[in-house]
Amino acid sequence: MLDMRTQVAIVGAGPAGLMLAHLLRLGGIDSVVLERRGRDYVERRVRAGVLEHPTVELLREAGVADRLDRQGMPHHGISLRFDGADHRVALTDLTGKSITVYGQQEVVKDLIAARVAAGEPLLFEVSGVTVDPATPVVTFTAADGTPQRLECDFVAGCDGSHGVCAQQVAATVHAHDYPFAWLGVLAEAPPSHSELIYTYHERGFALHSMRTPEITRLYLQVAPDERIENWPDTRIWDELDHRLAADGFTLATGPILEKGITTMRSVVTEPMRQDRMFLAGDAAHIVPPTGAKGMNLAIADVWVLSEALGAYFREGRTDLLDAYSETCLRRVWRAEHFSWWMTSMLHQAPGADDFQRRLQLAQLRYVASSEAAATSLAENYVGLPLRP
């Protein structure tokens, strides 16, 4: 078995693991990143696409936003569509901040390119990963079949909710399953609107989003046990056209490049730490996608962790590491509530009666007509500050 040594072992090469590795490198801290998938898969994996204002600012500060600034699509508002009309929430006018549409896989590509250019260890296609949080030691088999043992000062578990790190934490897991799912499609069609449209409809929620000026991302609320085989392309376009209908709106269509169904859950792990291992991103928490918080929470986690690790290695301080879980969870629970609130306001719950639907419409109309209510939505949507 080949022995290795580093300061921080990072399990998972998603946005959390890669961003943490980059921030640590900027702080002069060594790390090794391990990923069970191949580079091509990781760079093509389609996920979230909305970057909060603090996320964009951090990527710029970290020097990995050149392509983001060239290709990202800044947005200064979103539309709530109900009663057959759009009701714009002016994000920038209300908060002075904006969001940027830029695919998660694009952030991953930028971070991988920076890691490779710096010549830092990034190991793909590893298998058999085991973690001892107390020692700490990570063992794995490299892509060439060589067994390896990685000794480190700390482990960062950034390998998602089904990864090996989350299983090692003796924690309380708070979970909530939502009674619906999203059918998502990526279509070769220009966006039909300049902004994201969150639609409340009697047949179920629909979302119009985008990835580039040529690629549209669209979603439909479906049952959690729905099968993708039941949704040929023509049915998807017909249902989107029906739910997104509004005066003066024409839905642009085109070839569907990808489609899939995602169930919706809220999960929070407390604490986000076991001995000398720290969880970040989906390994510690999951949010329903309605509030566009998943990747942004992961980036916020690793910023907090990088600051704490920096204080430890530079000054021998442990106070920030000891406070890591509590610090992150304050933001996580706020994001969980916002995502739950957006989801509850916009989706048709199975068996909902007329009373419940009227309550949803009352809430939507209040947000659309009250500057205070719209500001609350906007503040949460553009992202709370990383540095309170």
- Looking up residue 374, the CATH number of its domain turns out to be 3.30.9.10
Q: Does a structural domain hold residue 71?
A: no
Report the distance separating Cα 119 and Cα 116, nearest Å. 5
What is the number of domains present in the chain? 2
Task: Give me the pLDDT at residue 62, please.
Answer: 98
How confident is the prediction for the chain on average, in pLDDT? 96
Is 41 a residue of the active site? no
Check 97, 193, 293, 347 and give the catalytic one. 293
Q: Does a structural domain hold residue 58?
A: no
Check 102, 198, 219, 324 and give the catalytic one. 198
Residue 388 confidence (pLDDT) above 80: no
Is 285 a residue of the active site? no
What amino acid occupies position 28? G
Is 259 a residue of the active site? no
Residue 2 confidence (pLDDT) above 70: yes
Indicate if 132 and 112 belong to the same structural domain: yes
Indicate if 151 and 189 belong to the same structural domain: no
pTM for this predicted structure: 0.95
Biggest alpha carbon–alpha carbon distance for the chain:
67
Residue 16 confidence (pLDDT) above 80: yes
Is 289 a residue of the active site? yes
Higher pLDDT, 136 or 48: 136
Indicate if 10 and 42 belong to the same structural domain: yes
Indicate if 114 and 211 belong to the same structural domain: no
User: 349-380: per-residue pLDDT in tens?
Assistant: 999 999 999 999 999 999 999 999 999 999 99
Q: Does a structural domain hold residue 65?
A: no
Phi, psi of 132 (to 5 degrees): -110, 100
Indicate if 146 and 206 belong to the same structural domain: no
Indicate if 184 and 260 belong to the same structural domain: yes
Q: Does a structural domain hold residue 154?
A: yes
Indicate if 234 and 289 belong to the same structural domain: no
Which residues have C-beta within 8 Å of that of residue 145, sequence separation ≥ 6? none
Owning domain of residue 114: 2-49+103-171+271-344
Mean predicted confidence (pLDDT) in 255-263: 95
Q: Does a structural domain hold residue 360?
A: yes
- Tokens in use for 294? 């998943």
Mean predicted confidence (pLDDT) in 201-224: 96
Check 22, 53, 75, 347 and give the catalytic one. 75
Is 381 a residue of the active site? yes
Indicate if 241 and 359 belong to the same structural domain: yes
Q: How confident is the model at residue 1 (pLDDT cuts 50, 70, 90)?
A: low
Task: Give me the pLDDT at residue 387, please.
Answer: 82
Check 201, 289, 324, 347 and give the catalytic one. 289
Indicate if 37 and 119 belong to the same structural domain: yes
Q: Does a structural domain hold residue 61?
A: no
Rg of the Cα atoms in the chain:
21
What distances in angstroms separate CA 193 from CA 92, 239, 251, 343, one per listed residue?
18, 17, 9, 22
Helix, strand or coil, per DSSP, at residue 53: helix
